[in-house]
Amino acid sequence: MSRGKRLSLALVIALGALVIVRLVYQPKKHRPTPPPTPVRVARARYANIPITLRALGLVQAYRTVTVAPMITGPMIAVDFRQGSVVRRGTLLARIDPRPYQAALAQALAKRAQDEALLAVARDTLKRYRMLITHHYISAEIVAEQKATVAEDRAIVAQDEALVATARTNLGYTRITAPISGRTGILAVNAGNIVSPNTPGGIVTITTIQPIYVLFSLPQQNLPEVMHALNAHALNVTAYARQGGQRTVLAHGALTVLDNVVNQATGTLTLKARFKNPSLALWPGAFVNVRLKVRTEHHVLVVPSVAVRQGPEGPFVYAVQTRTPSSAKGKAAAPRVSDIPVRLGVANQSQTVIRSGLRAGMRVVVLGGSRLHPGARIRILPKRHAPSHA
């Protein structure tokens, strides 16, 4: 190899070594420390927590009656306003009474005729009894007259029944409300021929003050509900959800437990009674139901949103009690630890902690999705809580 080639090769090797040395021994750039994660915290505390069961309920009228005509005839008038509240005995409609007035007059006339015949038969029997004492007539004649009186008496009794039937039918020409309640939509207008077989009757009346709500609970809740019901009255709250808001509609009391569990669904049907003063509950509507069964007294609770589920079970992110200092002497950002907990009963807002925490410990309630054990956090005031969870 010539001297020039050797010099060129040495120069290339020297340049390569220089590049490698610069790459290896170049000082590493300092990576910036990520900022603390903003979170919202709450303290574990002792409280009395109500234990409630929730379900979807169906509003049912306290009483429902379909008003149907008892006789056949043209309906000549409607005497109520649809959707109005009526009292028991209020006149609702009228059927043409003239055929039934004539039938009553005929029954009365027939009764009067038969009563006159009965009076004649009784007078004749009285005379026969006087004559038989003087042996002017035979005993057979007296016996026949007694039978005539009995027959006429039976005919008059039959006439009385016919008169009562005619009066009853005439009374049915005035259709009155059998219960107090709110009327529905009129099914038959005046001018139509109505009869006891008219489909759907004339109108439906429902009693909605008070009113019932039917709902179902899993059969596993039956022992708890039975125990609470035997101890005291159980309060039931009906409420509605709209736009993320919960509106209480009415407060009532549990009144009935069904006597059988639905085998198809494994649930038990319950019925609660509400006074419904503001008419917030309407028959046929669906409402949310909350049944309070008992109260847990002086138990350690945290907000339910603080409880998270991990591979080894439930845990919470708790703020470490000791906060290290930075190199400049300033207090460093606090850190979190994942603490396994044993849970008790819970509702939508609070969860009972049986073990794992102490009263006063701070737990993360918002912002925990970006945390890990040992992560630094920045605790925000309540009004500045981060929007993520």
Give whichever of 138-142, 181-185, 311-315, 321-325 has the largest mean pLDDT: 181-185
> How remote is the C-alpha of 337 from its chain's centroid?
43
What rounded mean pLDDT belongs to the chain?
87
The pLDDT score that the predictor gives to residue 287 is 95
- pLDDT at residue 10 tops 70: no
Question: Among 153-167, 260-274, 356-370, which stretch is predicted with the lowest mean pLDDT?
Answer: 356-370
The pLDDT score that the predictor gives to residue 98 is 95
* Structure letter (DSSP) for residue 123: H
Kindly state the tokens that stand for 103. 């039938």
The pLDDT score that the predictor gives to residue 37 is 87
Q: Where are the beta strands (DSSP E) in 117-218?
A: 174-176, 181-183, 193-194, 203-218
Question: Among 16-20, 38-42, 217-221, which stretch is predicted with the lowest mean pLDDT?
Answer: 16-20
Helix, strand, coil percent content, the chain, rounded in steps of 5: 30, 40, 30
* Structure letter (DSSP) for residue 257: E
Render pLDDT for 106-141 as a digit per residue (tens, 0 to 9): 999 999 999 999 999 999 999 988 888 888 888 889
Give the residue with greater pLDDT, 363 vs 333: 363
User: Which residues have CB under 8 Å from 383's CB, separation 6+?
Assistant: none
Render pLDDT for 48-101 as a digit per residue (tens, 0 to 9): 888 888 999 999 999 999 999 999 999 999 999 999 999 999 999 999 999 999
Band of the pLDDT at 385, cuts 50, 70, 90? very low
Contact 51, 296 (CB under 8 A): yes
Question: Among 25-34, 166-175, 242-251, 313-322, which stretch is predicted with the lowest mean pLDDT?
Answer: 25-34
Token pair 């109520």 is found at 80
The pLDDT score that the predictor gives to residue 50 is 85
A 10 A CB-CB count for 151 gives 13
Contact 364, 321 (CB under 8 A): no
The pLDDT score that the predictor gives to residue 268 is 93
Band of the pLDDT at 210, cuts 50, 70, 90? very high
> How remote is the C-alpha of 312 from its chain's centroid?
38
Q: What kind and span of H or E run contains 73? A: strand 73-78
* Structure letter (DSSP) for residue 145: H
- For the residues of 355-378, what is the DSSP string, one character each? ES--TT-EEEEESGGG--TT-BEE
Kindly state the tokens that stand for 323. 């906060």
Q: What percent of the chain has pLDDT over 90?
A: 60
pTM higher than 0.75: no
Render pLDDT for 143-178 as a digit per residue (tens, 0 to 9): 999 999 999 999 999 999 999 999 999 999 999 999
